[in-house]
Structure 1
């Protein structure tokens, strides 16, 4: 049973890392190459769509890692799992404090009501997002190492 939990947790976190990586390095460059109105509307739609899914994914990943750490507390690699959990918790805190406020504003913007500094706000979100990717990537690497 523990082996299944370890594999499922690693896969769930790995896919989450892949989605966030593709947002940063595939979707955002595509959206940023569009004309301003289309760019902004695309970011707003992405913010609404992923803003509904990602909180469940982040919290679910954190719960899975916590269950793994508790269930496997006497097994080798538990320190790696606990450290990965701490990194995922950091990513949730970063999201709530830094990224979600910007996204909550962005997802309501239209070309008619967006603020003058909308590009700067999206750029700030992207910078925070790069840091968050590094954090969850490190968590994923630790989980993979604990699994091995």
Structure 2
């Protein structure tokens, strides 16, 4: 079954997902863990990767129930119809976010501007463009996904 996309007020993605799940409507808000630093401490924080968007999988009778949740603004539309995300695309995103593979980039001979094929890890099979190589990290642009990732060197 395909997923629909709901636009929500900024910084309410996780609250909306939780409320929809409590109502019995299947919802998914993809998050990543980031380390945020304040003046007195560092803390791991789960941050949505798609700001102001939550994926929902309501049955036809539940389409309007989504609006009972505070902070839901509207459905996302494409060409006059509800925007649809295929189930396999959601599963691929979940796999990327939960992949426990330890990515060890090989940087010998690679320089900014090089195009590379990713052979292992959650982005296996994707093509990337080396954007920047720093002392402790590498930035890649994933061309097909229109996404930038940063790999830390350990």
TM-score normalised over the length of structure 1: 0.26
Which protein shows a greater Rg? 2
Larger relative helix fraction: 1
Larger relative strand fraction: 2
TM-score normalised over the length of structure 2: 0.25
